Amino acid sequence: MKKFVMLDSHTLPDADFHQEKELLAEHNIECVLAKCKTEEEVIACAQDADCIGDNYFRIDGALLDKLPNCKAIIRYGIGYDVVDVDACTQRGVWLCNLPEYCVTDVATHTMAMMLDLVRKTTLFDRHTRAGDWDVGYGYEVHRLEALTLGLVGFGNIARLFSKYAKVFGTRVVASDPFVAQEIFQEYGVEKISQEELFAKADIVSVHVPIIPSTHHLICRETIAGMKDGVMILNTSRGPIVDIKALVEGLHSGKVCAAGLDVVEGEPISDPHHPLWDCENLVVTPHTAYNSVEASDAQHTQVAETAVAILSGQTPRNIVNRKQLGL
């Protein structure tokens, strides 16, 4: 019997994993829901696993060497920075992700954050509750049709977000060297350089993975190259934005407002964290992906991918497909 092990099921506390249990059972595949917090626990429960599911547990080459039966790793999300891709490729292990399961949810959340900042909804709510009934409080309000939205990265989420924004008449530009011009044209989005985007956009929204070249992509230097009074959104990965530089920008007014669903070093438990001194900031707890429908799709797609792999098929969501020559 083939064996599938979900390494850190405890990191998805609201899930009952019925999709994995039912679909894998139908194909005579053992399904183990582990709660591993150490490498020793991973080795103990998964050393004979044919396929591994992983949410946040870090997997590197040294750990893979102790899992000799592992043919594939399925990451429970779009990003896969917790897994060493090169180590997987060197050992012939397929790394899969879920590139589409929460596209609608993250794009909607990003749109909600943009509307919140542009209309100052949260800012007004805070001050109105405090007895400050002042329609002119804070930064200036502009119509969306008067603003330019700049998308750093133009993958699935950014593309859908661009469609949402264009409904409001917002001009949308984007920078992504890995996306063909035809895709930009299909969505009616102007492709420009990253430097030009920072200089032209009234709202900068980040939609890139966290890799060495994108770590602190939004930093003191890049913020300096943005328009005065820019708004910054990040629903991608926390370390892409240098929090110290962002806080400086918010306090100086260079950045008039920001919306973050992800933060470097999250979760933030310090009540005195510098972010909390920025009133023109909206923060949500890495929840942009979340919905009942997204959760169902997440677990269903993991189960379907595991079944495909263990049935001898090649699923389309293999991250290192090209490197493996598939």
Q: How far apart are CA 155 and CA 214, in angstroms?
A: 15
Q: Which of 215, 286, 304, 321 is catalytic?
A: 286
Residue 126 known to be catalytic: no
Cα angle, residue 260 at apex, residues 258 and 263 outer, rounded to 5°: 125
Cα–Cα distance for residue pair 119/77, rounded to 1 Å: 31
Helix H, strand E, coil C: the string for 72-132 is EEEECCCCCCCECHHHHHHCCCEEECCCCCCHHHHHHHHHHHHHHHHHCHHHHHHHHHCCC
- The three-state (H, E, C) secondary structure of 188-204, written as one string: CCEECCHHHHHHHCCEE
What does the buried/exposed string (b/e) look like for 280-296 if buried means 16 or more CB atoms within 10 Å of the residue's CB? bbbbbebebbbeeebbe
Residue 10 bears catalytic tag? no
The residue from 266, 273, 304, 321 that is catalytic is: 266
| Cis status, amide bond into 267, omega within 30 of 0 | yes
Distance CA 268, CA 275 (A): 10
Beta-sheet pairing, 190-191 with 203-206: unpaired
Tell me the C-alpha distance between 174 and 195, whole Å. 11
Task: Specify whether 237 is catalytic.
Answer: yes
Catalytic residue among 75, 237, 264, 299: 237
One-letter amino acid of 242: D
Q: Following CA atoms 152, 251, 200, 108 in sequence, which dihedral angle do they give, to the nearest 10 degrees?
A: 40
Kind of pairing between the strands at 230-234 and 203-206: parallel
Which residues are designated catalytic? 237, 266, 286
